[in-house]
Structure 1
């Protein structure tokens, strides 16, 4: 039987040596390659293979320097072309490797509040090519019910809020593909500092998502019923005219919708008009933030940018919530104001 593929992350950052995040369909917790291949004569060749794939950004096949073996490596590249991982295989010279399970690279630019999905990841999602869209607002990561998260979702959101270089997260979640099938996926990610084209430092979370089988056959995969954040978010059905969201207190940017987004309010990356609070309401927004820090609650009416470029009045109610022991966010509820609330 052919040896399994190794899925190796190459996120970089504070770690220089690649680590293994899966052997076949079995997740590994970012184990150094040297530990996986500690008794193998092909460790040096495997490291050479991975280096060549990173350097060229292309698939590499090479003969082993010892034994009658060959090595194959395929890159997992982001939409921008950065190699986030390598699928590596070592086998006999005339042996065919087993089929590869789908995997795709992605990254979240914390500084720009933009998430990027590779073509490989969109294939994993079962998205038809004519519907591919590689870049999104960060809040679209959790939109439309595609990701069914585990109880660690708050930890993942805390990673985004804190955005500390070197922070890592790995978990098994469920993806609902566009054809309706549910697949268990293991993902791993790390926050790193990068330089943009202008030489400015940006914080980016680099990640890989790996399909490890039908969700029903993987005990660690979340069930079909969604799991909301801890016990802080009341598991209530959606109420017409009420839209709940989680907002980063430091940047006042949207992290995720807990309900379907409100109609007409601009919030996506590709909306014709940039999401914003009306300049005339910025002082009110700051006062809300201050009140939230003092009492844990705040309420006001604000004008939010509409998709058509105009402005929509919303009553905004906010409460502090914990993402983890050290990280807070705002649980925000939007409702349409009564006529006498709009001045």
Structure 2
């Protein structure tokens, strides 16, 4: 039985194949999967229509022997992130589809946007279905693999055209552990107000139980076990973008009471304006040595929390660094 083909359209038009059934594919041309010229032409026409109209395409092939079905995966009513494609005999029903969800990180505004399909994949309860959160919130359900530093380096560098694929473990809200295949690309776009924004557009596909997929990492990788074990009571660890001073992710539990998720009804994450110069000096000093200082962070109640921050340089790749911050409440 033919399998569903997942084709990305992160840049606005049908691009490369990122999955064949539950098997990830590394941005390969569709012609590598469909060798028959007639099938390839039918598929390309259906993909282009589905991506352009953001509507289901279901029709017979040009020779009448096969069914062509293209289902767009939407991130919004105006934008598709991928298309699920199936081509099979006219008398054969398509196989079950793997769960897939769309998302993007707005690296300019530090916002993460999630589709309804992704919230379904994560098993999120109706009362918790906020479509937009701070980027750091996107990591709360993820157990990343050893390629995480590579992914974070791409976020920090924000180079247009950068792509990333990974198999990470998803801890659903019902505590089920699933293997998630992530595929994404950095795109430069202009918003409705003419502002240039850097977006990391991607999709996540459920490819099976985490225990059944060898590429899925265990619930806690060794490096994070060591970092969490070395934290004293009242200490909280975070990875910070040294360019923007924005939180990338927490390592272990987040500091209680601090506004970091950017949820509706909460103030946005923020360093007190009078303390920005201190934070920027700390960021620059990390190029030479470890540093520490006292800052005020916005609380979820709208007030300010004085914290002591000890920071060390964290190497993400050969050319990219971040800050590893240890945060404690200041007296």
Partner residue, 2:116:
119
May I ask how many residue pairs the two structures share in their alignment? 330
Partner residue, 2:32:
35
Does structure 2 conserve the Cα–Cα contact (< 8 Å) formed by 1:42 and 1:66?
no
Partner residue, 1:298:
291
Moved more, 67-76 or 283-292: 283-292
TM-score (norm 1): 0.92
Q: Spell out the pairing of 1:239-254 with structure 2 (5 A cutoff).
A: 239-254=232-247
Cα gap change, 1:132 to 1:227, in 2 (>3 Å): farther
Partner residue, 2:187:
192
Q: Spell out the pairing of 1:11-30 with structure 2 (5 A cutoff).
A: 11-12=10-11, 18-30=15-27
CA RMSD between the two structures = 1.8
Cα gap change, 1:312 to 1:263, in 2 (>3 Å): same
Does structure 1 conserve the Cα–Cα contact (< 8 Å) formed by 2:228 and 2:251?
no
1:310 aligns with 2:307: no
Q: Which runs of 5+ in 2 are unaligned?
A: none
Partner residue, 2:276:
282
Partner residue, 1:214:
209
Partner residue, 1:263:
256
Q: Deviations over 1:116-155 (max 9, x none)?
A: 1100011111112332111110111112xx1111100111
1:6 aligns with 2:1: no
Runs of 4+ residues deviating >3 angstroms = 226-229
Q: d(CA) in 1 for partners of 2:89 and 2:250?
A: 50
How far off its partner does 1:38 sit? 2.6
Partner residue, 1:341:
none
Aligned mate of 2:75, from 78, 82, 97: 78
How far off its partner does 1:225 sit? 2.4
Partner residue, 1:62:
59
How far off its partner does 1:226 sit? 3.4
Moved more, 210-219 or 128-137: 128-137
Q: Which runs of 5+ in 1 are unaligned?
A: 339-343
How far off its partner does 1:67 sit? 4.2
Q: Deviations over 1:289-329 (max 9, x none)?
A: 23222x23111111111111111110111111101111000
Q: d(CA) in 2 for partners of 1:185 and 1:272?
A: 30
Partner residue, 1:101:
98
Cα gap change, 1:225 to 1:268, in 2 (>3 Å): closer
